[in-house]
Chain A
Amino acid sequence: MTHAAWIIVTASLVGVSCGLMGVFLILRKMAMMADAISHTVLLGIVVAFLVTREISGPPMLIGAILAGLLTAFLVQWLHSMDIEQHASMGIVFTTLFAVGVILIATSVGNAHLDINHSLMGEIAFIPFNTTELPIVGEIPEATALLIFAFLIVLLFIVGFYKEWKITSFDPALAASLGIPVLLMHYLYMTLVSITTVASFDSVGAIMVVAMLITPAASAYLWTDKLSIMLVLSGLFGVISAVTGYYIATWIDTSISGAMAFAAGLVFLICFVCSPKHGLLSKVIRPIKSEV
């Protein structure tokens, strides 16, 4: 495949995995948790690098998962100490992120990790770093990681569809039905961390938030059914990713930034045009009812 094709495939994988995960984030009203985890994953990656001295899939993944769980745990713990949820989130992620940046700036240096790279991602370089996989042959390492993340996300969503649905909409009912709500919460945070770290190399720490929240919020404006929302959100994610790529090549700029921007455009269009909740519907409906 060509250079551009790999980038589009990778970007679409980011779009679809983040889109799927984002749906539950929105429904559970934990959108800012995505922001928190995407920042702290940086610390996980830096520590994994300091321990193993290499940037490769498995250690990074483990570091990121631990960082994500640590964030979720610390936020819960501070919240249990009578600190408002929003404030405890703000304290935890800014601190862990700051420690990550300090570690990068002092001990890791510019050798392999640098702050700008981890904040913005560099999807254009992804096709250069390839790895050999059985059956499929030679594919970029980041793409392989994303395929892995996408399959895990898909597996858990399809496998526990009913459980996620009940836990997201009615945690009390879920608990009374014997679903381990807390375990599901931490499992979910693990999945968010996996998605984040897999997307990290391509879009960086902050744009991954755009890919997680924005397509899902756009889909939320169109439908009331969870299954349709999941499909729409994944679709919007892919549309944002591909559009972003073309905007970026058109005006020659950062691909990840353009992807986040495209996701924002998709949201704006949905906000204006959505049949149920959009701006236009609010203008049109009163006219109809008058007739």
Chain B
Amino acid sequence: MWSMLTESNTQWVLFSTMILGIAAGAIGCIAYWKKQSLMSDSLAHASLPGIVIAFLLLGEKNFLVLTIGAAISALIGAVFIQWVISTTRITEDTMMGIVLSVFYGLGIMLLTIANRVGGGEQSGLDTFIVGQAAAMVYTDVITMLSLAIAVILIIVVGFKEWKIYLFDPQFARGEGLSLTFMNGLYTLALVTTIVIGIQAVGVILIAALLIIPPVSARYWTQYFKMMLLLSGLFGGLAGVIGTLISTFGSGLPTGPFIVVIATTLFVISLIFGKEKGILINYIQFKVHQKQVNLNQLEERGESR
């Protein structure tokens, strides 16, 4: 069992899911503050038809091409959501639900066709649904790694810009920062993170890797920089441990294990977190209660 760890392929896969987790945790923070956590879920599902169309056009599973297909399809979904909510009275959450399910339905339609006509080549396409990190080969890992590192760099280099863009858009505009450009960059980074994560985590669960770490990080800090770091750390941990567990079992899907680890970290943060964690809240409540009781006793003593 442990001998698998020394295999170079496993090491590469572990390393790449770690970097993926860090990228997802970091971009997830920005999505969290834009109140768009569920958008990542919607875009992840919307990428499925792109993957299958890219495969049908190319006839083989080239990770880079499939990723580009996924990104185009997810971007179409994002544009359609924006278009409908800006022209009709349909709300954002409704539109996210529609794009999510209809694009996914289209993806399943195409996937059924691909399974019929694809011969043996398509056999791995199903793994895009619940994720199978072990199915990645060396070139996939390299593509995934470089794109994930690019996303992390975008966030780190533009940290100051992201911060004012999120917390004070008016000031950002005053400073000459183009909000349209930042919105575009944000959507691009979000879509990139989602589509490179699909192979490892799957279209259904990749959203969790963007949603859960930022919320967990929120329980430890009030500073955006710390939140980004912690969220990246939690994401990376979830990626590595989840992949490890799924590698030990034969043919176990990776995505669900990554999500369960991320949730475990969340529950730990929820209970023991320094900021508003359940335990600290309870202790503060008890201390406060004691103080109030003491004060009341003193008052009573004085009045007597």
Q: Hey, which bits of chain A sit against chain B, CB under 8 A?
A: 26, 29-32, 34-35, 39, 81-84, 86-91, 94-95, 97-99, 101-102, 105-106, 115-116, 119-120, 206-207, 209-210, 212-214, 217, 220-221, 248, 251-254, 256-261, 263-264, 267, 271, 277-279, 282
Are the C-beta atoms of A254 and B215 separated by less than 8 Å?
Answer: no
B107:A31 contact, CB within 8 angstroms: no
Expressed in whole angstroms, the Cα–Cα distance for A206 and B111 within the complex equals 15
5 cross-chain pairs, A with B, having the tightest CB-CB distances, nearest first: A260-B105, A264-B102, A210-B101, A257-B108, A94-B208
* Contact across chains for B101 and A214 when beta carbons are under 8 A apart: yes
In the bound complex, what is the Cα–Cα distance between A253 and B108 (angstroms)?
A: 9
With both chains docked as a complex, state the minimum distance between the C-beta of A96 and any C-beta of chain B, in angstroms: 9
Contact with A along B204-224 (1 / 0, CB 8 A): 110110011011001000000
Within 8 Å by CB of A221, from B90, B105, B109, B126, lies B90
Question: Which residues of chain B have C-beta atoms less than 8 A from A88's C-beta?
Answer: 215
A259 and B87 within 8 A (CB): no
CA distance A254 to B49 in the complex (A): 14
* Contact A257 to B87, CB < 8 A, known contacts A91-B211, A210-B98, A264-B98: no
Q: CB-CB < 8 A to B301: which residues of A?
A: none
- Whether A95 and B109, one on each chain, are in contact in the complex, defined by CB atoms closer than 8 angstroms, is no
CA distance A32 to B96 in the complex (A): 8
Contact: A87 with B215, CB < 8 Å?
A: yes
Complex Cα spacing A207 to B48, Å = 13
CA distance A39 to B94 in the complex (A): 17
Closest B residue to A251 by CB, please name it.
Answer: B113
A258 to B35, CA, bound (A): 32
Contacts of B96 in A (CB 8 A): 31-32
Complex partner residue of B260 from A89, A98, A260, CB under 8 angstroms: A98
- Once the chains bind, are B130 and A101 in contact (CB under 8 Å)? yes
Residues of chain B at interface, number, CB under 8 A: 60
Closest CB in chain A relative to B42 CB, distance in Å: 9
A102 closest partner in B (C-beta) = B256
Which has the most chain B C-beta neighbours within 10 Å: A94, A120, A210?
A94
A59 and B109 CA atoms in complex are apart in Å by 31
B63 part of interface (Cβ distance < 8 Å): no
Interface string of B113-143 (1 = CB under 8 A from A): 1001000000000100110000000000000
Q: Which residues of A sit under 8 angstroms from B212, Cβ to Cβ?
A: 90-91, 94-95
Main secondary structure of the interface of B (DSSP, over half): helix
Q: How far is the CA of A207 from the CA of B90 in the complex (A)?
A: 20
- Asked if A31 and B112 make an inter-chain contact with CB atoms under 8 angstroms apart, the answer reads no
Q: Are A32 and B105 in contact (CB-based, < 8 A)? A: no
Q: Mark B262-280, 1 if CB is under 8 A from A, else 0.
A: 0100100010000010100
Instruction: Return 15 A-B CB contacts under 8 Å, by A number.
Output: A31-B96, A81-B278, A86-B38, A89-B37, A91-B215, A95-B259, A102-B257, A102-B260, A119-B204, A210-B105, A217-B94, A220-B90, A257-B106, A264-B98, A282-B87
B36–A86 touching, CB < 8 Å: yes
Does B93 belong to the interface (CB within 8 Å)?
yes
B3 sits at the interface (CB 8 A): no
Interface of A is mostly: helix
Interface centre among B90, B110, B255 (most CB of A within 10 A): B90
> Are A271 and B84 interface neighbours, CB within 8 A?
yes
Instruction: Tell me the minimal C-beta distance from B249 to chain A in angstroms.
Output: 7
Contact A82 B276 (CB under 8 A): yes
A260 touches B208 (CB 8 A): no
Indicate if B252 sits at the interface (CB-CB under 8 A): yes
**A31 contacts B97, CB within 8 Å?**
yes
Q: Beyond A81-B276, A82-B276, A253-B112: 20 further Cβ-contacts under 8 Å?
A: A31-B97, A32-B93, A35-B41, A86-B93, A87-B211, A91-B211, A94-B41, A95-B212, A98-B208, A101-B130, A105-B252, A210-B101, A220-B90, A254-B108, A256-B105, A261-B109, A264-B98, A264-B105, A267-B102, A277-B87
- Complex Cα distance, B212 from A191, in Å, reads 28
Q: How far is the CB of B83 from chain A (nearest CB, A)?
A: 9
* B263 touches which of A87, A95, A209 (Cβ 8 Å): A95
Residues of B within 8 A of A256 (CB): 105, 108
| B208: contacting residue among A95, A102, A210, A253, CB under 8 A | A95
Q: Which of B101, B112, B215 contacts A260 (CB 8 A)?
A: B101
Nearest residue (CB) in B for A121 is: B108
